[in-house]
Chains A and B, each alone.
Chain A
Amino acid sequence: MHAEIRVETDDFNIAKEWAAMRARLGGRAGAVVAFAGIVRDHAGTEQVNGLFLEHYPGMTEASIGKILAKASDRWELTDTVVIHRIGELGPRDQIVLVLVAAAHRGDAFAACEFIMDYLKTDAVFWKKEHRPDGDSWIGATGRDRERRNGWEADAR
C-alpha cells in the first residue's frame, strides 16, 4: 500500500493530490474517498479567530504512520494520503486532507473515517485557539475520544 504523510505549513490543492493518487492507482482501485477538514470560526458557542498548530517533526509523522498501518490492517486499502497543516491557520482555512483508495467503496469509506477519528486523538499535534478573550491550548475533546474508542470496541 502506498502511504504518504506530509506535515506542512502551506495550503494543499485537493485536485492536485487527487490527480496524483489516480495516476498511481491505474485500474487497481474502484473507490477513492476524500475528507477535508476546515478551520471553524467557533467552538461551541464561542468565537474562534484562528488556530496555531505545533508538531514534533519525525514523531508526528510516525504517529500518523501508525494510524495508517492500523487502518491497512483492518481494511483492504490500495493507497492513503494524509496532509496536515501546521502553524497559524484562520477560519475557513483547510487544515487536513485524508485520501483513501480501495478496491471497493465500503473499505474506503470506513478507513477514511477511522483514520480521521484516530488523527483527532492520537496524532502528535498541539493546538492553540485564538479567542477574543485570549489564547488557550486545547486538548482532545471527549467526543473525539468516544469516536476513537468506538473503533476499538468494534475490533474486540
Chain B
Amino acid sequence: MNSAASTVVTVRFFGSLRETVGRDAVDLDVDDACIAGVRKRLASLLSADELQALSGQGVRVCVNQTIARGNVEVRAGDEVAFLPPVTGG
C-alpha cells in the first residue's frame, strides 16, 4: 500500500505504560496505515524494552477509544492508545 497522502495518527500511552515510555502522547506519520505500522514506527522511537512493554500481558490497543481486535486499519487523525490492564475505580 502506498499513497502520497501521509497518515498522521496520535498515539497515547496511559498509566504504567506512559511512565515506561516517558511520554503521554506522540504524533506519528505511519507508512503502513494499521496497528502493525504504528508499532513499526514506534520501534524507531523507543528502546526494545519500552517497545516490549507495549506488547505486555493484558495491554489493550484502542483506536478512537474502541478496543482494536487484531491489526486494524488506522486513518489520518485517528487516536491510537495503549492501555495497561485497568485497575478499576
Report A59 CB to chain B, min CB distance, Å.
4
A48 to B16, CA, bound (A): 18
**A140, B87: Cβ atoms under 8 Å?**
yes
A137 to B15, Cβ gap below 8 A? Answer: yes
Q: A59-B65, A137-B16 are contacts. A125–B89 as well, Cβ < 8 Å?
A: yes
Residues of A within 8 A of B87 (CB): 125-127, 137-140
Residues in chain A near residue B12, CB distance under 8 A: 56
* Interface size of A in residues (CB-CB distance below 8 Å): 24
Contacts of A93 in B (CB 8 A): none
Residues of B within 8 A of A84 (CB): 89
The number of chain B residues with a CB under 8 A from chain A is: 16
**Distance of A96 Cα from B84 Cα, bound (Å):** 22
Q: Which residues of A contact B65 (CB under 8 A)?
A: 56, 58-59, 62
Given A59-B62, A59-B65: A120 in contact with B89 (beta carbons within 8 A)? yes
In the complex, which residues 60-105 of chain A have their Cβ closer than 8 Å to any Cβ of chain B?
62, 84, 95-96
Is A111 located at the chain interface by the 8 A CB criterion?
Answer: no
Give every chain B residue within 8 A of A122 (Cβ-Cβ). 86, 88
The residue on B at minimum CB distance from A116 is B89
Report A-chain residues with C-beta under 8 Å of the C-beta of B14: 54, 56, 126
Q: Complex Cα distance A95/B87, Å?
A: 14
Contact A126 B81 (CB under 8 A): no
Binding site for A on B (CB under 8 A): 12, 14-16, 18-19, 62, 65, 81, 83-89
Listed A/B pairs (6) with beta-carbon separation below 8 Å: A54-B14, A56-B14, A123-B88, A127-B88, A137-B16, A140-B87
